[in-house]
Amino acid sequence: MRYLANLLPLLMITGCGSPAAPEVMVTEVWARAVAPGQTTGAVYMTIANKGDDGDRLLAAKASVAPSAMLHRSTTTNGIVSMEMVKSLDIPAHGKAVLAPGGTHLMMTGLTVPLSPGDRFFVDFTFERSGHQTASGKVAVAGAR
């Protein structure tokens, strides 16, 4: 009986665990083809989180460029501008869609031309989920 009395508080503590961790998955990674000699390009994707807790994308690195940064495009009075975004929240049971005309991963210093059908990789760093690598495909210029 004494054993059960000592075990009960321990069971109560372990039963009150923290919320489930995020379950982040990066899918639908793609970039548009670029003109010969062009040194910048954008990557688009969907980041879904099936977990019970949110996460945050902190950084990304593309295999085809030495620099990749999150940017957001906005249009005000017909003028398009871009601003750097430090991080991107991925809500619990939600998703973030990076798409043309909105948030995207801007690559600078492309080391190879991006031609339709080419494949590339992007390494993502999340605040809670750690690192994840996803494969992307180059679409024709003007796609989507």
Q: What's the pLDDT score for residue 108? A: 97
Residue 5 pLDDT > 70: no
Q: Which residues contact 100 (CB under 8 A, 6 or more apart)?
A: 32, 42, 44, 144
Which CATH number fits the domain that encloses residue 118? 2.60.40.1890
The confidence score (pLDDT) of residue 4 equals 47
Residue 122 belongs to some domain of the structure: yes
Distance CA 27, CA 47 (A): 6
The confidence score (pLDDT) of residue 15 equals 47
pLDDT one-digit tens code per residue, 46-61? 999 999 999 999 999 9
Q: So what's the pLDDT on residue 32?
A: 96
Structural domain harbouring 27? 19-139
66 lies in some domain = yes
Is residue 50 in some structural domain? yes
Say how many domains are in the chain.
1
In tens, the pLDDT along 13-45 reads: 444 555 578 899 999 999 999 999 999 999 999
| Residue 1 resides in a domain | no
Nearest to 40 by CA among 129, 127, 104: 104
The yes-or-no verdict on residue 127 having pLDDT over 80 is yes
- Using alpha carbons only, how large is the chain's radius of gyration in Å? 20
Please report whether residue 90 resides in a domain.
yes
Asked if the structure places residue 11 within a domain, the reply is no
The tens digit of pLDDT for each residue in 70-108 reads 999 988 899 989 999 999 999 999 999 999 999 999 999
DSSP 17-54: PPPPPP-EEEEEEEEE---TT--EEEEEEEEEE-SSS-
Domain-located, residue 25: yes
In a domain, 75, yes or no: yes
